[in-house]
Amino acid sequence: MTILHLETSTKNCSVSISRNSELLCLCEEYDNNYGHAEKLHQFVNWALEGAEISLNEIDAVCVSRGPGSYTGLRIGVSAAKGFCFGLNIPLLSLNSLEILAQSQIDKGFDLIIPMIDARRMEVYTAKFDGSGNQISQIEAKILDESSFREWADKKIVFIGDGVEKSKEILNLPNASFIEGIHPSAKNMIRIAENKFAQKTFEDVAYFEPFYLKEFVAGPKKL
């Protein structure tokens, strides 16, 4: 199976192509200005060139459904649906937190807690065991000094762009805080292939991003 993976839930615009569990090519860039609309299709073209395959060889598209940036998610999902409609291939989706968690599986942690910044002291988060299995619901959590205190005896790793603010207030003796890790299309391969094998496909016509929270427009910048 050959799968095109699109990850646009954060400031990291990421595209990869895999074939039978092998990463053929990865194109990604972290951009504070959210340049996904300009970059995503160029990254797809570069990934196809790097993998030395044509778009017609793609068997499925896997996209991050969120939570995360409203704009980023809309861009990624719209592109994924367009490819699936145009090529008549199935659509797969993963949540952005499970993609983050894949970067830390089997590294000796009891808990993997990815965090995506949701502004102020709020993050999108969920808990995963050391093998990357999700063990709690995704939530929008406001952080304070008591957050995750019930897990203080566990060896925890916090990852994602919510780490910078969380490490300032969380006092957990067994916790590690790793900055600079973002959801990446290279970490979508294993779960996407499992879903493809099980034919866990999305309805392309009705599929929408998982925003978790309703969009609230801010004041217009002058």
- Indicate whether 137 and 189 sit together in one domain: no
Q: Is the pLDDT of residue 161 over 60?
A: yes
- Indicate whether 103 and 156 sit together in one domain: yes
How far is it, in rounded angstroms, from Cα 152 to Cα 174? 7
Q: Which domain range does residue 153 map to? A: 98-178
pLDDT for the residue numbered 178: 96
DSSP-assigned beta bridge partners for residue 159: 114, 178
pLDDT for the residue numbered 216: 47
pLDDT for the residue numbered 89: 98
- Indicate whether 192 and 149 sit together in one domain: no
Would 161 be classed as within a structural domain?
A: yes
What confidence tier does 214 reach under pLDDT thresholds 50, 70, 90? low
pLDDT for the residue numbered 119: 85
CATH number of the domain encompassing residue 19: 3.30.420.40
Please enumerate in sequence order all residues whose Cβ is within 8 A of that of 210, keeping only pairs 6 or more positions apart, or say none.
65, 66, 67, 73, 95, 138
Q: Is the pLDDT of residue 142 over 50?
A: yes
- What is the total count of domains within the chain? 2
What confidence tier does 168 reach under pLDDT thresholds 50, 70, 90? confident
Please enumerate in sequence order all residues whose Cβ is within 8 A of that of 68, keeping only pairs 6 or more positions apart, or say none.
8, 9, 10, 96, 116, 124, 183
Backbone angles phi, psi at 73, to 5 degrees: -65, -40
In three-state form (DSSP H/G/I as H, E/B as E, the rest C), the secondary structure along 19-45 is ECCEEEEEEEEECCCCCHHHHHHHHHH
CATH number of the domain encompassing residue 146: 3.30.420
Helix (H) or strand (E) holding 105: none
Q: Could you give the maximum distance between any two Cα atoms of the chain, in Å?
A: 52
- Indicate whether 187 and 86 sit together in one domain: yes
Q: Which of 89, 105, 99, 95 is nearest to 1 (CA)?
A: 89
- Indicate whether 10 and 91 sit together in one domain: yes
Mean pLDDT of the chain, nearest integer = 94
pLDDT for the residue numbered 114: 98
Q: Is the pLDDT of residue 63 over 80?
A: yes
Q: Is the pLDDT of residue 147 over 70?
A: yes
Q: What is the pLDDT of residues 107-136, one digit of tens each?
A: 999 999 999 999 889 999 999 999 999 999
pLDDT for the residue numbered 123: 96
pLDDT for the residue numbered 213: 73
C-beta neighbour count of 128 within 10 angstroms: 23
The DSSP annotation for 50-72 comes to: HHT--GGG--EEEEEEESS-HHH
Half-sphere exposure of 213 (CA within 13 A, CB side): 17
Share of the chain above pLDDT 70, in %: 96
Give residue 130's identity as a one-letter amino acid code: G
pLDDT for the residue numbered 222: 46
Would 14 be classed as within a structural domain?
A: yes
Q: Is the pLDDT of residue 16 over 70?
A: yes
Average pLDDT over residues 50-76: 97
